[in-house]
Amino acid sequence: MIGIAVLGAGRIGKIHAVNAATNPDARLIAVADPFAEACGPLAAQHGAEAMTDPMAAIARDDVDAVVIGTPTDTHIGLLTRAVELGKAVLCEKPIDLDIGKSAEAAAKVEALKGRVMLAFNRRFDPTFAEVRRAIDAGKIGAVRQVVISSRDPGMPPEGYVKSSGGLFRDMTIHDLDMARWLLGEEPVSVTAMASRVVDPALVERYDDYDTAMVILQTASGKQAHINNCREAVYGYDQRIEVLGETGMLSHDNLRPTTMRLTTAYMTDAQQPLLNFFLERYTAAYRAEMDAFVAALAGGTPLPTTAADGVQALRLAEAALESVRSGKTVSV
Ligand SMILES: NC(=O)c1ccc[n+]([C@@H]2O[C@H](COP(=O)([O-])OP(=O)(O)OC[C@H]3O[C@@H](n4cnc5c(N)ncnc54)[C@H](O)[C@@H]3O)[C@@H](O)[C@H]2O)c1
C-alpha cells in the first residue's frame, strides 16, 4: 500500500483526495492545509488525518508519496522538501510561474533522483489516451498536424486572473503539453497571437489576454495549432484533431448523455457540454492518480516528469514572447 498525503484541500485537492482514498493500492494517510476548516472535513470524509502543517505531513514515516494541490507559489518548497526526504510526488501544474525557478527545481529533482510526476491530467483522459494509443498503433501513419481547441465556459473571477500567471502559463500550458505528447516531437518554433475580446478591461489590468492562437512546429515539420478562449457561450469546449499520413483522429465533446432531441423546429439538439474541468476530466483525474500509484507500486517510470512541466512552461513563455514581439520564437 502506498501511503499518500494530499497537500491543499481546495478545488483540486478534493479531487486528488477522493481518488487516493479509493485507489485499492493506496491509503490516504493525511490531508494537510494551513486552514483547519479546509482540511478537517475533507480528511474526515476519507478517514484520514487532518494536519495544518504540510511539512509535518510530508515527513511522516507512513507517507510514501505526496500530492501537491496547493497554490502555485508554494509548489517548489513542498516539492523540494518531499524529494529531499525520498518521497514520491504528484505535483499540480505549473511547477512555478517562473521558468528559471522551475528549471532549477527540476534539475534538483534530477540530481536527487527524485520521483516527481507533473499533473498533466489531460494525458489520462480516456478519449485522449485512446487517440494517443491509435497513433502509437500506426492507425493514421506519421502525425502531420495536431489541432487543439480548448475554451473555457466563462471568464474566471478577477482574483484568479490576478494570480494565475496569465493565459499562457495557466491555461495554454495544458494544451502545450498535449501538443508535445501528440506530436511525439519537441516543437522548435512558436508563433502566437493573443487578444482581449471577452473582458478587455479586466485582462488589460493584469497585462493578460483572454483569447489566443498558438502555432508550434517541430524540426521535421510537424505542426500543432492551439485555439484558446476564456469564454465559449456553449460551454467547456475540449477537442483535438490529429492529421496523419493515412488518416485523421478526432472526437466529440462530452455530454452527460448521448440523447438527441429532434422536433419540428430543430434537429439533433443535444444536452449542454460537461461543464467545466472538474466534470469533464473526472475520469482523467482518477486515471492520473491510478497511473501514479501503479508506477510507485510496480517500481516503473512515472508517466510524466518535472522536465515535462519545465518544457510546457518554456513553450508558454515563448508564446508570450511571440505575442509581444510579433515574431516567431525559436525554442
Ligand atoms: N490540473 C488541473 O486541471 C488543475 C485544475 C485546477 C487547479 N490546478 C492547480 O492546482 C493548484 C491549486 O489550485 P486550486 O484551484 O485547487 O486552488 P484552491 O485555492 O482551491 O486550493 C488551494 C488550497 O491550498 C491551501 N494551501 C495554501 N498554502 C498551502 C500550503 N503551504 N500547504 C498546504 N495547503 C496550502 C489553501 O488553503 C487552499 O485550501 C494550482 O497550482 C493550480 O494551477 C490544476
- Cell matching residue 212: 489566443
What pLDDT, in 10s, does the model give residues 266-298? 999 999 999 899 999 999 999 999 999 999 999
Query: Per-residue confidence at 302, pLDDT binned at 50, 70, 90?
Result: very high
Query: Given the CA of residue 14, which atom of ligand 1 is nearest to it?
Result: 16
Q: Give the Cα separation of 64 and 266 in Å (integer).
A: 55
Residue 234 belongs to domain spanning:
122-279+306-330
- The CATH number of residue 218's host domain is 3.30.360.10
Domain co-membership, 182 together with 201: yes
Pocket test of ligand 1: the residue of 53, 92, 150 to mutate, having most ligand atoms within 8 Å of its CB, is 92
CA angle 107, 64, 173 (to 5 degrees): 45
Report d(CA 205, CA 189) in Å as an integer.
29
* Tens digit of each residue's pLDDT (9 = 90 or more) over 14-49: 999 999 999 999 999 999 999 999 999 999 999 999
User: What pLDDT digit, counting tens, does each position of 199-255 carry?
Assistant: 999 999 999 999 999 999 999 999 999 999 999 999 999 999 999 999 999 999 999
Centre of ligand 1 to C-alpha 69, Å, is 4
CA of 142 to the centre of ligand 1 (A): 38
> Which residue, 86, 118, 150, sits at the end of a domain?
118
**CATH assignment of the domain containing 12:** 3.40.50.720
The pLDDT, as a whole number, for residue 209 is 98
Which residues does ligand 1 sit against, CB inside 6 Å? Answer: 7-13, 32-35, 38, 54, 69-72, 74, 92-93, 119, 121, 277
Nearest CA to ligand 1 atom 25: 8
What span, in angstroms and rounded, lies between the C-alpha atoms of 169 and 96? 9
Among 95, 118, 141, where does a domain finish?
118
Q: Using CA positions, which residue lies closest to atom 28 of ligand 1?
A: 70
Q: Output the CA torsion sign for 216, 171, 273, 279.
A: positive
pLDDT of amino acid 316 = 98
Q: If you measure from the C-alpha of residue 70 to the centroid of ligand 1, how many angstroms do you get, rounded to a whole number?
A: 3
Same domain, 130 and 266: yes
Q: For a pLDDT cut of 70, what percent of the chain falls above it?
A: 100
Average pLDDT over residues 143-164: 97
My answer on whether 181 and 316 are in the same domain is yes
Any domain includes 293: no
Inside any domain, residue 25: yes
Are the beta carbons of 145 and 224 closer than 8 angstroms? yes
Q: pLDDT value at position 141?
A: 98
Number of domains in the chain: 2
- Which residue has its alpha carbon closest to ligand 1 atom 17? 10
pLDDT attached to residue 245 = 98
pLDDT tens-digit map of 121-139: 999 999 999 999 999 999 9
Mark whether 129 and 176 lie in a shared domain.
yes
> Given this model, what pLDDT does residue 18 score?
98
Residues 44 and 193 in one domain: no
Q: Which three cell numbers stand for residue 315?
A: 513553450
Q: Are residues 201 and 183 in the same domain?
A: yes
Distance CA 223, CA 236 (A): 24
Could you report the per-residue pLDDT of 61-120, keeping only the tens digit for each? 999 999 999 999 999 999 999 999 999 999 999 999 999 999 999 999 999 999 999 999
Ligand 1: atom nearest CA of 74 is 31
